[in-house]
Structure 1
């Protein structure tokens, strides 16, 4: 009986190239490991550094940094539409004739923005308070836009970083709180002496904010883009020829407002309301579109396997280990298992460690069999992305 071969990942494996194209090029932490034209996984400290990263590829975070950097103009357009539809749900319940919805929405919005309110010790109007928050949001957009332009000058595809996301999220906490506070005030009656519920006022104020923000954002972006382009050398302007200014601030604010709207509805309902259509997080929405409308879980798992393969390539360079031993090393480290784990149907009561080892060794066998049959013409994991996902996200 021939001795078992040590488990290795060949440096010519197409899956490593796919890891670099589909993940490292769009993920700021992996991108930072590229040195002297070498792939990220050739960095001498790759194995140690990557397991400390904030977001690993395909994670379940609502603003997964990889997914956010993959968003394109069409994705954002559709996502913002979904947010507005679900955000407007409480108000839409008032409307018997859909044709009158926009007319009624405009009427109520004008009244609610003109309404006099006393917020804290200050007498003002809802409109003035909302306008101040719109200005703050536009300044955040300014910050993100400048960061994106710098990335373009460096000729990389990363236009959003973790610091950008944290700044926007902190702003959203204040914005949701102020809109909810205003929604709790009793500040106007319609002709029928009807006072709108908190959830309906929240819906109106949120949509008013987003409308005013979007109106200001378009003008703001155009002016800033012209200003920046006037300050850079002529030969670098070509970099921005087809540059789409991603509305990250708009996306994150819309999601956070929608989440808060659902929370308010649930808290004030007489019984638990289960929304028939739930708003996906921006990252899950992106992965579903990437998968042509199919469930995003298989794509997230493929990203994780690509990451594990790149990690193993770097880890096994100077080690001689059998596949089972490699499986045991990874199975013993929870950091590789950041996605929900499947329970074995054959042995649902098996311990977590054994189940992980079994999953890993089976996956390694698939890789080895694929190489034997295809001789590196295509990668095992790369084939999934090429055949079942929109290619424009990583080409």
Structure 2
């Protein structure tokens, strides 16, 4: 597949994710962590325009000079921007204008891709592909949050299209020997800079569960007073529970003495055997504590990955998001991509049902603040 084919396929998939939306859905921003769908459409387009078209395509004219301010996310190097909390206030540019923007940039990108692809262009192009795929996952989970916080619980798409695997197998603990292991990306393909710096770590003997925690297992935690007993929680997590009156994972609703879950297909009865999703690190830690186990470190997870069935939930680890030995930031705006977020966040490993095909590796390091749970996050126990 040529670079042009890859580009068009990725761009098309982003728009396919938005296809079921009504126009009003494109603008909503219920909380700061969720961006309006039309902002994702614009931002991913701005990325190609800013980092590829402007520096490398002769005589390129930006589509709209104001879009740098509107669609810049966090790149201080590139200039001022609309603050994240105000993205939902942008009634203009309209949805149709943003699709026109995408078309304008796509045509220019196809022209660029007909020229010689230098090593520098290739590196930025692959980053742009993976950047848009990251936003495809964020886009889908943001849409779920937008619709899931509508009191009508509207479905995003027809029943049967959200794949949530069943935990039909009996979980067992898989044992791994102590030793020195190599961690980090190795190869000639694409990876993010936070995966680089392959290095050795020493691990004590450990065990990881072969299965992710199910709804039914987590329900036992709830019924045993998991959200009312401070002993299971970090102090910060316990404050989070009390201050936000948390009683269950995100999208769980107690209706007529029964638990229901909002899914992309609408509100559905809770199925105990389905794999748990949408829990915070605080909840993952408390559940593991209640179960008499712990969360794996990101290094244990990577060592064990080839022996695990992973890829349906982002799995919380007990590891802080920190740089690997020798990590260096690239110069300019691209250097702002990962390094400056290495503080006060936890690493998640794996992938989820929202992750685009081909956008996962056993060295991939996702990261979020401990209280966040709108992604498809789950729990794998360790001991």
The TM-score range, normalised by the shorter chain, is under 0.3
Query: Which is richer in helix?
Result: 1
Q: Which has the larger radius of gyration?
A: 1
User: TM-score when scaled to structure 2?
Assistant: 0.26
Query: Which is richer in strand?
Result: 2
